Amino acid sequence: MKKKMVKAKINGLALDVSTNSPVVILSPEDSDKLLPIWIGHFEAWAISMELSGLASKRPLTHDLIATMIKTVGGKIKKVEVTDLIDSTFYAKIYLEVDSKVFGIDARPSDSLAVALKTRAPIYVNDALFSLSKEEKEKSGLPDSESLRDRLRRINPEDFGKYSL
Overall size of the chain counted in residues: 164
In a domain, 42, yes or no: yes
Q: What are phi and psi of 70, to 5 degrees?
A: -65, -40
In a domain, 164, yes or no: no
For the purposes of burial, counting CB atoms within 10 Å of the CB of 78, is it exposed (0-12), middle (13-18) or buried (19 or more)?
A: buried
Which structural domain, as residue segments, surrounds residue 52? 5-159
Q: Any alpha helices (H) in 26-83, and if so which ranges?
A: 41-52, 61-71
Query: How many domains are contained in the chain?
Result: 1
In a domain, 133, yes or no: yes
CB 3 within 8 A of CB 127: yes
3-state secondary structure 139-158: HCCCCHHHHHHHHHHCCHHH
In a domain, 59, yes or no: yes
Beta bridge partners of 38: 23
CATH of the domain at 77: 3.10.690.10
In a domain, 65, yes or no: yes
CA–CA distances in Å: residue 64 to residues 40, 57, 120, 128: 18, 13, 16, 30
CB 164 within 8 A of CB 54: yes
Neighbours of 153 (CB within 10 A): 9
Closest by CA to 93, choosing from 74, 109, 72, 76, is 76
Please report, in tens digits, the pLDDT of each residue of the chain (164 residues total).
678 999 999 999 998 888 889 999 999 998 889 999 999 999 999 999 999 998 889 988 999 999 999 999 999 999 999 999 988 999 999 999 999 999 999 999 999 999 999 999 999 999 999 875 655 555 566 555 565 565 555 554 444 444 33
